[in-house]
Amino acid sequence: MGCLKNLVIAATNDVGYKPDQLKKWVEANSGIWVPRVGRGVKITHLVCGQSAWKAKDDAVQKAQASGAYIVTFDWLEDSLQARRKLAERTYLWEKVVHEKKKTKERKKIAKLADTNKFRKGSQKAIEDIGSGESATPSRGSSLKPGGFFASSMEALKEARLKRELKEKEKTASYASSSTKGDDNKRSAMEVDEYADKEKPAVKGDLVFKGSGEKSVSPAPPTLAPASLPTPPRSTSASKPSPDPPTSSTSTCTSQPPCPAPAVQVPEAKPAKLTDNYHLYLDATGFEYSIMLVRTNLHHNNHAMYSLRIYESNTKPHTYCTFVRYAPPKEAPAPMLMKNGIPILLPASSTTPLKSEENATPKKQPTTTNPDMPTAPPANKPYRALLTPLDADFSTAFRVFRHAFRDMTLLSWEERVYADVKNRQKAYATLCKIEPYTYRGPALGLPAGNVPAIPLQSGSIGKGSGKNALDSIMRDKDDGYIRGSLGLPGVDIGLSPGGSIGNLVHREAEAARKAKEEEEERERIKAMNQRNGGLKAKASSAAAQGSGPKKPNWNKPLFNSVSGPGVVGNAGGYGAMGFAKRDAKYDKFFYKD
């Protein structure tokens, strides 16, 4: 079947091919060829050239009157090459002419835009250097420091600084009128290397905390601010210029000395952490920038932690550990049905397994310490440096491991084990805490250093009761104490809405149902045994003949095809045709 089936095609004489060749192509693909556009024949497509379209010849007018598609030769060629009929929209002459006009307009507008841009740049250059003529210098001044060339460069710098200052004031006034500043969201150092480089840096304080150190912060979400090195402000513009006075300043000799124009140098941008630091990669190629998530399935939100280790660009290398916390969004409003009635979740889905106040056992003398920092509130964003900027790698990596364990209840080595989910679930059940989950790199990608000998299953939460809980909350070998870093949102109680709490809740429900089913089976078994004993007693009593038997208890109950049964001596029906007839009853049943 050809690609031009049921199509009636004609063509003008300016398409570049003879009509005989076009006829062969059309008819070879099941199309109908019409040599001329006439009144008696209704065509579907007219293959037209540019000259015929511009001249609006008779064939084009008749095709427009009949509603046929007036297309370029490219439509026919592309359809034959693709072996299917292509859409005519992009090949219509009206569309082609319209696109050409738009292209010309774009080129014209682009040329005007380039011209205007050049003029604006030239105007700025003229404003910076004035008219291009400087004051007449003294003889030989061009050969001395601070002569003609030096004064021109200084004037150019001052003009540029003035222009930048004006633009900065305009931007600041617009920003102050449209938004309000938030001191809690401003930092002296931009630590996110993925942030937009064109975004202006903001001021503030960044938090430094060490493992086991007491926080002196008066209020969350950040702890005590530490003084950070900032580049000194440029004072070159405030120093007196060494240039000799020019003729423009000599006119003020008869008057009081003219004050020097005060040029305000724009304040230098605060230094960023990524200016001298980059993410640390170990020997395996693993990048120490991980994401930890805690999901609430019932509220459809999640809290997120970003944990990183930075390495300095300069040698000897120094390291620091950075953490960023994004709180979960507020719980959405209850969903409504069509009739306006709210859809309420079951009580078991909105209440935790144990209240959040009891998320960690009250009696924990081994895990509570009055010197530990107070964690900021879990409903506000938080970011901090957990180590100083000049820490060594062992310190930064130790704090990194401790923060990972605070969030996930797992040691850093356990992240790559096959039973990591079962371990985390067991630890969460023991601590009654909803942990964060870590998703490692895909299979085949670097996963960091892996221990040669895996830990035994349950080696951290070993023991029972208080001993098992203490093994999770403390690690003397690694110097770990849970809560020593003061991280927010790591002590939320275990609930059915969490990803780990949901698994624990479902397992508890399955165990409860299995226990109930087992109890029901035991009850039925005991009842059957009791009923079986009664039946055995009844059968044994019947065998011994202790109970009375009914008359004809072993006789047939119903009549057969042979007729009714014979009445026995006791008044019942006996076997039909087999029992001996009683003469006393013959006169009722048998008459001669």
Q: What is the pLDDT of residues 240-264, one digit of tens each?
A: 444 444 444 444 444 555 555 555 6
Are the CB atoms for 490 and 484 separated by under 8 Å?
Answer: no
Q: Give the model's pLDDT for residue 64.
A: 84
Span 520-543, average pLDDT: 77
Amino acid found at 511: A
Q: How confident is the model at residue 417 (pLDDT cuts 50, 70, 90)?
A: confident
Across 139-181, the runs of DSSP E, i.e. the strands, are none
Q: Does the pLDDT at position 441 exceed 80?
A: yes
Here the tokens at position 203 are 């001021």
Q: Does the pLDDT at position 221 exceed 70?
A: no
Q: Does the pLDDT at position 171 exceed 50?
A: yes
For the stretch 297-315, pLDDT in tens is 888 889 999 999 999 999 8
Are the CB atoms for 208 and 385 separated by under 8 Å?
Answer: yes
Which of 228-232, 334-338, 445-449, 548-552 is predicted with the least confidence, judged by mean pLDDT?
A: 228-232
Q: How confident is the model at residue 543 (pLDDT cuts 50, 70, 90)?
A: low
Here the tokens at position 139 are 């003889």
Here the tokens at position 566 are 């014979």
Q: Give the model's pLDDT for residue 89.
A: 87
Radius of gyration of the chain (CA): 47
With CA atoms as reference, report the closest residue to 469 among 566, 544, 574, 359: 359
Q: Give the model's pLDDT for residue 275.
A: 84
Span 119-142, average pLDDT: 58
Q: How confident is the model at residue 181 (pLDDT cuts 50, 70, 90)?
A: very low
Cα–Cα distances in Å, from 353 out to 296, 361, 511?
Answer: 14, 14, 15
Q: How confident is the model at residue 515 (pLDDT cuts 50, 70, 90)?
A: very high
Amino acid found at 524: I
Here the tokens at position 243 are 């240039």
Segment holding 93, helix H or strand E: helix 93-129
Q: How confident is the model at residue 324 (pLDDT cuts 50, 70, 90)?
A: very high
Span 371-397, average pLDDT: 89
Q: Does the pLDDT at position 216 exceed 50?
A: no
Are the CB atoms for 460 and 471 separated by under 8 Å?
Answer: yes
Strands 69-71 vs 277-279: parallel, antiparallel or unpaired:
unpaired
Q: Does the pLDDT at position 404 exceed 60?
A: yes
Position of tokens 């399935």?
Answer: 297
Give 332 or 400, the one with higher predicted confidence. Answer: 400
With CA atoms as reference, report the closest residue to 288 among 193, 196, 388: 193
**Alpha-carbon distance 109 to 59, whole Å?**
37
| CB contact set of 467 (below 8 Å; sequence gap of 6+) | none
Q: Does the pLDDT at position 393 exceed 80?
A: yes
Q: Give the model's pLDDT for residue 199.
A: 43
Which of 87-101, 203-217, 287-301 is predicted with the least confidence, judged by mean pLDDT?
A: 203-217
Span 556-562, average pLDDT: 64
Span 53-68, average pLDDT: 86
Position of tokens 């960091």?
Answer: 448
With CA atoms as reference, report the closest residue to 269 among 307, 236, 230: 230
Q: State the CB neighbour count (10 A cutoff) for residue 395.
A: 18
For the stretch 354-369, pLDDT in tens is 433 333 333 333 444 5
Cα dihedral 184, 188, 191, 195 in deg (nearest 10) = 80
Q: How far is CA 388 from the centre of its chain?
A: 30
Are the CB atoms for 320 and 385 separated by under 8 Å?
Answer: yes
Peptide linkage before 316 cis (omega within 30 of 0): yes
Q: Give the model's pLDDT for residue 333.
A: 64
Q: At 87, phi and psi to the nearest 5?
A: -65, 140
The winner for highest mean pLDDT among 49-53, 136-140, 285-289 is: 285-289
Which of 124-133, 371-380, 415-424, 427-436 is predicted with the least confidence, judged by mean pLDDT?
A: 124-133
Give 507 or 464, the one with higher predicted confidence. Answer: 507
Strand order in the sheet with 32-33: 32-33, 8-11, 45-47, 69-71
Phi and psi based region of residue 498 (left: phi greater than 0; alpha: psi -120 to 50; beta: remaining): beta
Q: How confident is the model at residue 35 (pLDDT cuts 50, 70, 90)?
A: confident
Cα–Cα distances in Å, from 567 out to 330, 550, 560, 562, 587?
Answer: 91, 15, 15, 15, 12
Domains of the chain: 8-91 (3.40.50.10190), 188-226+270-331+349-449+457-538 (no CATH)
Cα–Cα distances in Å, from 223 out to 155, 181, 386?
Answer: 46, 20, 10
Are the CB atoms for 582 and 573 separated by under 8 Å?
Answer: no
For all residues of the chain together, what is the average pLDDT? 73
Segment holding 475, helix H or strand E: strand 474-475
Q: Give the model's pLDDT for residue 374.
A: 86
Q: Does the pLDDT at position 289 exceed 90?
A: yes
